[in-house]
């Protein structure tokens, strides 16, 4: 940091400064160099947009995959149509379908990645707090696949949390492939998670506010609104 430049002295990347220094800095007429938007911000924003588009496509693919597994499991036909399993004609043998699906997902969790367990949001928060926003790359594939199997075989789950976790994992994966900071990687993770929620629930504003509230702890939704 250049001499006299206090814009980089943040609590996330520099030496913590007490707020009581503010009057002293004003009295000393220390120069302030504040640049809210620079080329780096534009670069991260462009990557976030691409991640959001990819997360939207993944959400559509997950919905189609759930439909395919439902049709194969309960009707024995190859179709991507999203359909209810309630009209099947398997009789009493229908109780075996969720059991088989649970066993498959259990094997994936045991030998693939334990990260596919749970809802997805708490795991993303844990990785931000303790893992430097690094989510294993295999979760980008295993999370939606395990969710499609669990839901498609009759599991009492929804697709919202898996796609949010998948979008976050995608953002984290891209951040790990690029030379960016942990804060920037966290931003990409939050962008992917918000895009996943938007694709499944159709609520972009609520998705952004939720991502800020749960994943970007140093910000607050009211600051974004204002």
Instruction: Between 200 and 116, name the one with better pLDDT.
Output: 200
Domains (range + CATH), the chain: 1-34 (no CATH), 39-225 (1.10.3080.10)
pLDDT at 69 exceeding the cut of 90: yes
State the pLDDT at residue 29: 62
For the entire predicted model, the pTM comes to: 0.69
pLDDT at 43 exceeding the cut of 50: yes
Band of residue 25 on the pLDDT scale cut at 50, 70, 90: low
| Contact (Cβ atoms closer than 8 angstroms) between residue 165 and residue 58 | no
Both tokens of 29, joined, read 């007429």
Among 35, 41, 6, CA closest to 184: 41
Among 181, 140, 136, 177, CA closest to 162: 140
pLDDT at 83 exceeding the cut of 60: yes
pLDDT at 18 exceeding the cut of 70: no
Among 173, 101, 188, 179, CA closest to 138: 173
State the pLDDT at residue 5: 46
Report the C-alpha gap between 136 and 3 in whole angstroms: 40
Both tokens of 152, joined, read 């498609």
Where residue 202 falls (left for φ over 0; alpha for ψ -120 to 50; beta otherwise) is left
Which whole number is the average pLDDT over 185-197? 87
Which whole number is the average pLDDT over 37-66? 88
**Torsion angle defined by CA atoms of residues 168, 171, 173 and 174, in that order, rounded to the nearest 10 degrees:** 180
């Amino acid at each position: 940091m250049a001499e006299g430049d206090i814009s980089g002295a943040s609590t996330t990347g520099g030496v913590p400064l007490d707020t009581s220094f503010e009057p002293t800095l004003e009295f000393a007429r220390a120069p302030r160099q504040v640049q809210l938007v620079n080329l780096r911000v534009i670069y991260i924003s462009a990557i976030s947009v691409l991640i959001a588009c990819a997360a939207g496509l993944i959400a559509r693919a997950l919905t189609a995959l759930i439909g395919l597994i439902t049709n194969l499991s309960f009707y024995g036909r190859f179709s991507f149509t999203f359909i209810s399993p309630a009209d099947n004609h398997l009789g009493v043998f229908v109780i075996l379908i969720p059991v088989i699906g649970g066993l498959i997902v259990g094997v994936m969790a045991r030998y693939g990645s334990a990260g596919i367990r749970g809802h997805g949001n708490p795991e993303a928060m844990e990785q931000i707090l303790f893992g430097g926003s690094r989510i294993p790359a295999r979760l980008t594939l295993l999370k939606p696949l395990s969710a499609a199997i669990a839901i498609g075989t009759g599991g009492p789950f929804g697709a919202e949390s898996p796609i949010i976790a998948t979008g976050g994992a995608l953002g984290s994966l891209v951040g790990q492939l690029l030379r960016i900071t942990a804060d920037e990687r966290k931003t990409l993770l939050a962008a992917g998670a918000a895009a996943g929620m938007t694709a499944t629930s159709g609520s972009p504003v609520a998705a952004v506010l939720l991502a800020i509230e749960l994943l970007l702890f140093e910000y607050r939704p009211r600051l974004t609104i204002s």
